[in-house]
Structure 1
C-alpha cells in the first residue's frame, strides 16, 4: 500500500465550508480572509462542509479512551447537530490553539482529556450554531431569534428549512460570538446519552490508520539495537554482516544505539540481529531489581521527607493498645501497549513532516525541531491513532521523538519509519517505578484507629524533566499521590517519601502513583478494621470526614449493589476498596474464589462518580478496562532486572497479558453528581487490586505483600 498524507495546511485549504476556532482573535480571521482564504483560520476546532458533515478536530491523542467521541459530542450538543453527521480527526500540533488547560501545553494524560475540554468544546459548538443561524437569518430576511435548530436542520418562522451544509459558506461572513450562551444541562439531548463511538467503524473494518499502517513512497524501515543495560553506550560497531543481508541499506550509530535501515521491515530486523556491537557498560546500572528493592525497603523503614501530617503521631503509637506493621513491594512495570512505539518522518531540505501517536504534542514537536535543527514552523507533527499508551507515549524527555529525528538526521533527506519491536518496548525502560511502602497503624482499646503512618520509597518520575516544576520543595507528588489527601479523618497520621536513584528510566504508568498507594492503603486499612472488630464497609464510613460526601456516596452505592453484609464465609469471599484519583471517586467490591491455590475474581461491582457523565457508555467501558488492566497487572506483571543489570522479560510469553477467561463479570453504576466531568481513563484501575486482595485475605488469612501474586507464590 502506498499512502501519502497531506500536510495540515493543504488539508485545510482543500476544504470548503465553515471552519471555526473560537479561540482565535478576530484579527487573525480577518487577515486570513484578506488573503483570499475560503476558511477564515489556518487551524480550527470545527469544520462544517457543504455535504453537511461536521468534523471536530480533536486536540488530544485518541488511544482508545474515547477522546474523539467525547469531545465531538460536546460540540454536537451545543450545535444541535444530528450525531450521524459528526466526524472527528486529530488536530495538528499547535500549542497556541490546542492547549490542555491542565498542563499549559498540547497533550493529554492524568485523565484530563474531557475535563479540560468540557466548556471549551461546548462553546465552539455554540459559536458555530450562532454563526449558522445568523447566515440563515440574512438569507431568509428574518430575525435570528425566530430560527430553530434541531438535528442538523435550521427552520425559519415561515417553514423555511436548510442544513448546516447549506449555510456553511455564508456563515464565513458571520461574526464569531465572543462568549456564546450554553445550554442548561436539563436541555441536553446528546450529552449524557449512549452514543456510537466515532472511531468504532474504522477500527472494526480495518480502515482506521495507526502509525504502523503508514507507508510513504520510497520509505525505509528502521530497526534499533539498544544497549542491553540501562546507562550503557556504544563502544564499537561491526556492521559487515548486517550490510550483506538483502534489503539492508545502511547502518548508523545514533545517541540511543545503532539504527539499521532496510527496504522492508524483515530486512531491517534481520540486519539488526546480524550486528556485532561492543558496549561500554562503565556507567550502566548493574544492580538487580531484588537488590534495589532491598535498598528501597531500608529507606522506607528509616527517616524520610514528611509530606503530610496531622495530630501527634508519636503519642498515638506510644499510647496504642495494639499496633500493626506491613511492608509492600511493587515491581517495575512496562506499559506494553499493543502497538509498540513507532513513527514516520519525511525529511526534505529545511522541512520535516512527522506522523506518530504523540501524547504530548508540544514536547514532541519541540524535540523534533531541536534535534533536526529546524525552526519549529518547518516541522509538521501529525497525531495518528495509537494502539494503546497507558502513559508510554507521554514522555517528558520526548525520548522516542528524539530517536526518530536522529534516525532521519543520520540518513539525510528521505522517508523513514522507525518501528520498535516488542523486545525494544519491554526492555526499553520508562517503567512504573519500583516502590516500597512501609505502613504502621495504631488501635486503641476499643479497636478504633488512632494512628496511621506510611513511608514510600521510589524514584521520582518528573525530577530532571520538563515537568519538574510540578515538584514541591523537592517532593514529587506523583510518587505518593493517593497516600495523601485521603478521605479518612485520622486522629493522627504521617506520610513520608524517600527519593531513590537508579539508572533505570521511569515514567508515569496508567494511574501513576495511585497504582501502588491504593493497594497498600486500602489493604492495610482493611486489616486494621478487621483487627478492631469492625465491618470493612461501616468502618470506612465511620472514618470518612465530613467533606467526603462523594466518597460516601460511591461506597454506599457499591455496598448496596453487591448486597454487602460482610466478606462472607463460603468458598467465595468479597473484598472492598475505595479510592479517588484524577477527580473521580470509585468504590469496588470484588468476589473471589480459590482456583488451584490462586485467586480468581468471579465478579466485580463498581460505583463511580466522575462528575457529569458525558458519555455513559465510555465511562462504563473505561471502568471495565481499568478493572481488567488492574487484575492482569496484579496477577502476572513485573519487570525483573537480573544480577548485572539485564532485563529478563522480552515479550508477552514472559510479560503475560490478561486473558479473556481471566476477566470477571463486571457491573458498573454511575453516580451522577452535579460536578463538572472528571477523568475516567485511569480511576477504574487503582481500587480493583486491593478489593481482590482483601477478598483473598478473607479466604486465606493473609494479604499478599509483594506483587505480582504469581511472584509472591500465590
Structure 2
C-alpha cells in the first residue's frame, strides 16, 4: 500500500505508469489519498508475475474542508454502492457521515475485484467481495491520521481516540481529519490493522439514506446518457434484423439529406455482423437519418431461428436420451413409485430492458482512447477496445458513468456496445474526423438486437411413495450455455455442463436427483440476466416441492423444513422469519386470497417469500409479499429492502403476459414496452422485508430477491385454482 499527496483534478486523464503517477502526485496538492497494490491476490485469475508493479490509484480523498470522498470500485446502477461502500470506510475511520461522498472509479488495476481479478460489478458481489477491503482502507486511514496527531501533540497514539471526523487528545486537543490530512500522508501505512467488532458499529447495520438520492430525485444526477462532450457527434446504427447478418446494399441518399446528418458509412459490429452508422449533430437527426436509410441485408450465412420450432426441438431433446450428466442418482424406483409427478416447464428468452438504454462516448487522440460509459465490465471493455484499435489496454481510459439499471446487460464478455462504439470511432477517424462520437441505442435497438436470458425447457419425472416421500427424481434441462465462449468458461463449464444452467437445482432439499443437461447452440446471443440460472431453476424447484407437499398431504412450509433437515440453518431461519412476520397459518386471509410460499438461495443469500394473492379478471393478482432475508451481516438495511423490493417486482414481471422475447425467421418480434411487458408501479404489491440478524461477513443482495417470487405466486395460484403453472409468463387458460 502507498499514499500520495495529490489533487485528483490535476491528474491527466490517463496516468498509466507508476512513474507518471508519482510525478503527477509530486506536483499537486489537495488531500490525503490512499491506494494499494493487489498483485496476484485473485484466486480465479492465472498466476501473476510477482515482479509486476501495479499502478496505485486513490480509494480515499480527505479534503481540507473535511469532506471525505470514497472512490467506489463498482458501477452504481441502482443498487446503492455509492452509499454502502463509503459506509464501510466511514465505520472504520470514525468519520462524520455528513461529510462522506462517493465517486465512481475509472478503470484501474487497483479497482479490480479482489476475488475475480477483473474490474466487475456483478454476481451480487459489490459488498461481499469488498467488505474487508474497504473496511481495512478506512482502518488504515484512521491509524495514519492518529499517528499524525500523536506526532504533533508529542503523545503516544494509544492515548488518542477518534470520533466523527476528529482526533481527540488526552488533554482535550482536537484536530479534524482535514487539518491532519497533509501530515497523515507522511506516515507509514500500517501493515496490519484491527477492525471493529460488530458491537462497536455506528454505521454498519444502521438504516442509512443514500448519498445520491437528492441528486437523482431532483434530476441533477448525470447518467451516461446525459453525458456528451461539447464537440461530440451522436451516432445511431442500423443493425441487421437477423443476428450476424451483413449489409448487401445501402442507399443513404435520403439519410444524408436530413438536416443535421453529417455522415453515413458501413461499420463492423459485434459477433461478425455489419451495419450502417449515421453520424449527426444530435439524437433526433441521427434517428431521422437512420429511419431514411434503405438497406438490403444479407442473412444467407446465418441461422434464422423461429421460437415455435426451437421449442419443439427443446421438447424433443428433453424426452431424448443422452446429454451431459451433471449429477448422478439412482432413478430405478421411478417405475414402481406409488405416486408420480411428470412435468414439462417452458421458459422464454428475456430482454434486460434497463430504463436507461445503452450508450457510450469514445474519443480517440493519437494512440490513446478515452471512453465514458456506465459499464459493469471495465477490464474486459479495455481489452476489447484495445484489440480493436491495435493498442495496449493501458492506453484505454474508461470513465465510469452512473447508469440507469443494467441487470447484467452492461457486463458483456464481447463488450458489444462498447466495442461497436470504438469501431465507429475508428472508422470516423479514418475519414479524417477528430470529434468524439456518442453511440446511443434506442429502446428498440436493445430489445431487438441485444443479448437475452436463454430460453429453457425442463423435464422432471419424480417418484414418491404413498406418504409423499421422494424416492427418485430424474431431471433434464435443455438450453443454451451462457458461459460458453466467455472468459469464465474454463471455471464454469465442467464435463459439458454450464454451472449457471443448473445452479439452484436440488439444494437445499435432500432429494435423490439425477440431473442431465442438453446444451444447444442457437443464433441468439445470450447473457446472464438478474439472478442468472436461478431465474428458471428456482421456479422449477419451488413449484415441484410444493406439488410434492400437496401429494404428501403436508403443509408446504412443514414439508420444506422436513426436506431441508437441520443442516440448512440459514434457509430455515429465513423461512421461519417470513412465516412468522406474514402471519401464515395464524391469520385468516380475506375471501378469495391464498398463501404461496417459496425459498431459494442464490449468491450465498437466502430469500424466503410468503405471498398473498388472488385471481382478478382471469389473472393472478399479487397483494402482499413478506420476505425473510438471510444475507449475514446487513450493511445498509434500507438498501437491502430496496433491492428486495425491486427484485421482487422484476420477478413478478416474468409472470406477466407478453413478458417474453420470441423470434420468427431469425427476427425478434418485440421492440418496445408496448409489446414486451415489464412490471409497472400498478403491479407493485406491498412488500415487507425482514432481515435475519447475523454478524457473519455479508453475502450478495442485488439478485437473490428475484428467484422465489414467481414460484411463490404460482403456488398461491394453485391453492386458488387447482392449476399447476408450468410456463413463464403465466397463462391460466393454458394451465
- Report the TM-score, using the length of structure 2 for normalisation: 0.91
8 Å CA contact retained: 1:284, 1:503: yes
8 Å CA contact retained: 1:21, 1:41: no
1:173 matched to 2:186? The reply is: yes
Deviation at 1:137, TM superposition (A): 0.9
Distance between the aligned counterparts of 1:287 and 1:358, measured in 2? 30
**Partner of 2:87 in structure 1?**
73
What is the number of equivalent residue pairs in this alignment? 693
1:121 matched to 2:134? The reply is: yes
**Partner of 1:645 in structure 2?**
666
1:7 matched to 2:29? The reply is: no
Residues 165 and 273 of structure 1: CA distance in aligned 2, closer, same or farther (over 3 Å): same
Distance between the aligned counterparts of 2:555 and 2:428, measured in 1? 66
1:560 matched to 2:574? The reply is: no
**Partner of 2:648 in structure 1?**
627
Query: Out of 524, 537, 548, which is 1:528 matched to?
Result: 548
Distance between the aligned counterparts of 2:325 and 2:215, measured in 1? 47
Query: Out of 60, 65, 68, which is 1:46 matched to?
Result: 60
Q: Report the 3-state secondary structure (helix = DSSP H, G, I; strand = E; otherwise coil) of the residue aligned with 2:655.
A: helix
Query: Out of 282, 297, 301, which is 1:283 matched to?
Result: 301
8 Å CA contact retained: 2:33, 2:59: yes
Residues 309 and 502 of structure 1: CA distance in aligned 2, closer, same or farther (over 3 Å): closer
Deviation at 1:612, TM superposition (A): 0.4
**Partner of 2:515 in structure 1?**
495
Residues 673 and 302 of structure 1: CA distance in aligned 2, closer, same or farther (over 3 Å): farther
Deviation at 1:389, TM superposition (A): 0.2
Deviation at 1:372, TM superposition (A): 1.5
1:476 matched to 2:494? The reply is: no
**Aligned runs of 1:283-432 on 2, under 5 Å?**
283-309=301-327, 311-314=329-332, 316-412=333-429, 413-432=434-453
Q: Report the 3-state secondary structure (helix = DSSP H, G, I; strand = E; otherwise coil) of the residue aligned with 2:404.
A: coil
1:103 matched to 2:103? The reply is: no
Q: Which deviates more from structure 2 when the two are superposed, residues 640-649 or residues 102-111?
A: 640-649
Deviation at 1:521, TM superposition (A): 1.1
Deviation at 1:230, TM superposition (A): 1.6
8 Å CA contact retained: 1:192, 1:614: yes
Deviation at 1:229, TM superposition (A): 1.0
1:703 matched to 2:724? The reply is: yes
Deviations 1:376-411 (A, max 9, x none): 222211111010000000101111111010010010
Residues 642 and 125 of structure 1: CA distance in aligned 2, closer, same or farther (over 3 Å): closer
Distance between the aligned counterparts of 1:480 and 1:141, measured in 2? 62
Distance between the aligned counterparts of 2:704 and 2:395, measured in 1? 39
1:210 matched to 2:230? The reply is: no
Residues 310 and 548 of structure 1: CA distance in aligned 2, closer, same or farther (over 3 Å): farther
Residues 501 and 474 of structure 1: CA distance in aligned 2, closer, same or farther (over 3 Å): same
Distance between the aligned counterparts of 1:478 and 1:621, measured in 2? 25
Deviation at 1:570, TM superposition (A): 3.9
Deviation at 1:305, TM superposition (A): 3.6
Distance between the aligned counterparts of 2:476 and 2:671, measured in 1? 32
Residues 64 and 234 of structure 1: CA distance in aligned 2, closer, same or farther (over 3 Å): same
Q: Which deviates more from structure 2 when the two are superposed, residues 508-517 or residues 645-654?
A: 645-654
Deviation at 1:477, TM superposition (A): 0.6
Distance between the aligned counterparts of 1:247 and 1:471, measured in 2? 49
8 Å CA contact retained: 2:468, 2:552: yes
Q: Report the 3-state secondary structure (helix = DSSP H, G, I; strand = E; otherwise coil) of the residue aligned with 1:169.
A: helix
**Partner of 1:37 in structure 2?**
none
**Partner of 2:525 in structure 1?**
505
Deviation at 1:569, TM superposition (A): 9.4
Distance between the aligned counterparts of 1:711 and 1:22, measured in 2? 57
Deviation at 1:87, TM superposition (A): 0.6
Residues 445 and 41 of structure 1: CA distance in aligned 2, closer, same or farther (over 3 Å): closer
Q: Report the 3-state secondary structure (helix = DSSP H, G, I; strand = E; otherwise coil) of the residue aligned with 1:457.
A: strand
Deviations 1:160-214 (A, max 9, x none): 1011000111111100111211111111110000112111121112221111111
In angstroms, what is the RMSD of aligned CA positions? 2.0
Query: Out of 431, 434, 451, which is 2:455 matched to?
Result: 434
Residues 14 and 441 of structure 1: CA distance in aligned 2, closer, same or farther (over 3 Å): farther
Q: Which deviates more from structure 2 when the two are superposed, residues 78-87 or residues 293-302?
A: 293-302
**Partner of 1:32 in structure 2?**
none
8 Å CA contact retained: 1:351, 1:379: yes
Deviations 1:111-170 (A, max 9, x none): 011100000000000000001111111111111111110011111111110110001111
1:687 matched to 2:700? The reply is: no
Q: Which deviates more from structure 2 when the two are superposed, residues 406-415 or residues 541-550?
A: 541-550
Structure 2: 5+ residue runs without aligned partners?
1-9, 16-20, 40-53, 270-274
1:452 matched to 2:473? The reply is: yes
Q: Which deviates more from structure 2 when the two are superposed, residues 175-184 or residues 578-587?
A: 175-184
Distance between the aligned counterparts of 1:15 and 1:661, measured in 2? 52
8 Å CA contact retained: 1:639, 1:648: no
8 Å CA contact retained: 2:324, 2:496: no
Distance between the aligned counterparts of 1:103 and 1:307, measured in 2? 28
Deviation at 1:15, TM superposition (A): 5.5
Q: Report the 3-state secondary structure (helix = DSSP H, G, I; strand = E; otherwise coil) of the residue aligned with 2:129.
A: helix
Q: Which deviates more from structure 2 when the two are superposed, residues 600-609 or residues 703-712?
A: 703-712
Q: Report the 3-state secondary structure (helix = DSSP H, G, I; strand = E; otherwise coil) of the residue aligned with 1:602.
A: strand
Deviation at 1:287, TM superposition (A): 2.5
1:151 matched to 2:164? The reply is: yes
Residues 713 and 198 of structure 1: CA distance in aligned 2, closer, same or farther (over 3 Å): farther
Deviation at 1:300, TM superposition (A): 1.6
Deviation at 1:476, TM superposition (A): 0.6
Q: Which deviates more from structure 2 when the two are superposed, residues 611-620 or residues 544-553?
A: 544-553
Query: Out of 672, 679, 699, which is 1:678 matched to?
Result: 699
Distance between the aligned counterparts of 1:422 and 1:24, measured in 2? 39
Q: Report the 3-state secondary structure (helix = DSSP H, G, I; strand = E; otherwise coil) of the residue aligned with 1:414.
A: coil
8 Å CA contact retained: 2:324, 2:495: no
Deviations 1:436-476 (A, max 9, x none): 11111111122222222221111001101222122112221
8 Å CA contact retained: 1:397, 1:466: no
Structure 1: 5+ residue runs without aligned partners?
26-39
